[in-house]
Amino acid sequence: MPNAHQVYQRVLQAGRAFLNRPEADDQQIASSLLGLEQAAFKVFTHQVGMTSTKHLRYTVLSLVCLEPPVGPLLREILADGASFAEVHRLLSRYRRRDLELVELQEAVRIGSWRSLLTPGQAQPDWASKPVWIFPANKRARRLEGLNPVIAEALIGRYSKPGALVVDPMAGAGTVVKKALEMGRQAWGSDIAGDGRLVRKMDIAGLVSAIGEEVADLLVLHPPTFAWFVRKVFDPSVHDHPETDYTNWLSQHLERALPVLKPGGRLILIVRPEHKPRRLIRQDGLTRWAFVAPLELLLSEHELEPLHYHLAVSEDGVEDWSIFVGQKP
Ligand SMILES: C[S@@+](CC[C@H](N)C(=O)[O-])C[C@H]1O[C@@H](n2cnc3c(N)ncnc32)[C@H](O)[C@@H]1O
């Protein structure tokens, strides 16, 4: 299925051919199409593979005709992957004066426009409750992404403006974007980074890239246990996926922790398995297999525990266990 931007381009291209005006610019094409007789407009609508003349008129062509300063910004957001509905939602927020032009410009500049689509849905005090029930954002959860509202709550709570926030498993860069929006400095890298906000780098290279004891806040959001079991765990070599996952996390932590300043904070965001499972026997003790090793892991790295948050999305699909510790 073509995305909204591809549809937008196809309409303009087909419009040029339909009107036989190959040299005309986008706005000229759109206003000529909007000026067509009803019957001709219907023919054109079907020609571009659409069924609704209303959709073409009020959703697609109206966007082409939107004047600066907001028009070009919204078209840039469309080109960045937004749907028509999302672009029009931003436009209505802007028209209601619920969204300032500078906010929109800044969000386009740093690529964080998606976060402008969610405000208002959260319960005002959700992050002050013992369990954070946060508003679901289906788009953000792709590839195990962190919901921007969680990133915002954590950065706001555990760092000050001007602080350096480091995220070496930054994925799509949610934490980096939020940190910059909130007046922090930010470093983001990921083994699959695309270089825009997030450099392509294995966590093993973090210390040589940024040095030791530079970060005020280190956010570590590693692949989940479920991902680990699917992609890394090899039953022919390992017995206990949980133990092996914990060791794997421990290695990542060892690689990243030297960048944290003394007194700096670590936020570890994980998704334990909640299914009842086999217990591990170790040193005569029976432990529940997953959470205990993770807690152990933090204590082994000599971090003072500060807080533990459980964050669950309103629709129950996402849950994150968030451990916060401080480097002595
Ligand atoms: C849970 S996702 C992080 C999602 C991110 N917080 C976001 O909101 O988009 C875990 C990330 O760890 C990255 N990763 C896995 N192994 C890595 C390694 N050795 N070094 C750096 N990044 C790694 C993956 O590419 C993935 O993007």
- 288 and 202 part of one domain: yes
Hey, which residues does 165 pair with through a beta bridge? 186, 217
**Domain boundary pick from 82, 117, 152:** 117
Residue 221 Cα to ligand 1 middle (Å)? 7
Residue 191 Cα to ligand 1 middle (Å)? 7
Domain holding 259, by residue range, is 126-326
Across the chain, what does the average pLDDT equal? 87
In the sheet where 319-326 sits, what is the strand order?
131-134, 304-313, 319-326, 260-270, 215-220, 164-167, 185-190, 199-200
CB 101 within 8 Å of CB 70: yes
The per-residue pLDDT for 219 is 98
- 32 and 100 part of one domain: yes
CB 267 within 8 Å of CB 287: no
For the stretch 14-59, pLDDT in tens is: 999 999 999 999 999 999 999 999 999 999 999 999 989 999 999 9
* Residue 245, token pair as written in the block: 């996952």
Q: Strand 285-287 relative to strand 304-313: parallel, antiparallel, unpaired?
A: unpaired
Report how many domains make up the chain.
2
Nearest Cα residue to atom 12 of ligand 1: 169
Residue 170 Cα to ligand 1 middle (Å)? 6
> 126: how many CB neighbours lie within 10 A of its CB?
16
CB 220 within 8 Å of CB 266: yes
* Residue 311, token pair as written in the block: 């964050």
Nearest Cα residue to atom 17 of ligand 1: 191
Can you give the CATH number for the domain in which 237 is found? 3.40.50.150
- The answer to whether the predicted template modeling score (pTM) of the entire model surpasses 0.85 is no
- 197 and 312 part of one domain: yes
Ligand 1 pocket, CB under 6 A: 144-146, 168-172, 174-175, 190-192, 202-203, 221-223
The per-residue pLDDT for 276 is 52
- 69 and 162 part of one domain: no
- 188 and 312 part of one domain: yes
The number of residues in the chain equals 328
**Domain boundary pick from 117, 151, 172:** 117
Spans of the chain, pLDDT less than 70: 118-125, 273-296, 299
